[in-house]
Amino acid sequence: MVFPSAQIQPKIAKGREIYNFRCYICHAYAGDGKTLAANVLAPRPRNFTDPAEMKGIDNRRMFFFFFNGRQGTAMESFREILTDEEIESVVAFIRYAFIEKKFKNINYHSPENQWYDFEKKYPKAIKYFLYEGEDDSLTEELKIGKGIFETSCITCHLVKERHEEINIIFRKEK
């Protein structure tokens, strides 16, 4: 059953909004971690809908992971990106929607949310967050990696202050 955000608690609605912007790339709108990004990550992102995988993970522990990141995974710290209150909201949404299964999250980039032709429009816009043009020194493999980063990972792994570091990541080693 799908409920509009207005019908759920404001804290959970705020958590859903943040999750659908920052977390879905790795964890999916359904919370099951079945995404394009997950296919290239080791270990794979956590599946919030799997009771066995979520066993023993309370809200306090989830907050800790958001705040500090998870060493050895792609999960970065959100302490400089989100406030404590925002992290608590995301944790509340994850618990409510995926662990307790009280809410079915819809695809954020959908006509229901005023996103039309997202797949066609978004990749054209996101490339300008990094830098314009192709770097001829990149190998085909690095170009593929750069493309995946620009269409998936950038949501969490790019802070404006780190703009210059992105160029370094995709430079061909000499």
State the pLDDT at residue 146: 73
pTM of the model: 0.62
- pLDDT one-digit tens code per residue, 11-50: 999 999 999 888 988 898 889 888 877 878 889 999 999 9
**Higher per-residue pLDDT: 66 or 110:** 66
Residue 112 and residue 129: Cα distance in Å, rounded?
A: 26
pLDDT interval class at 91 (50, 70, 90): very high
Which structural domains are found in the chain, ordered by start?
5-99 (1.10.760.10), 117-169 (no CATH)
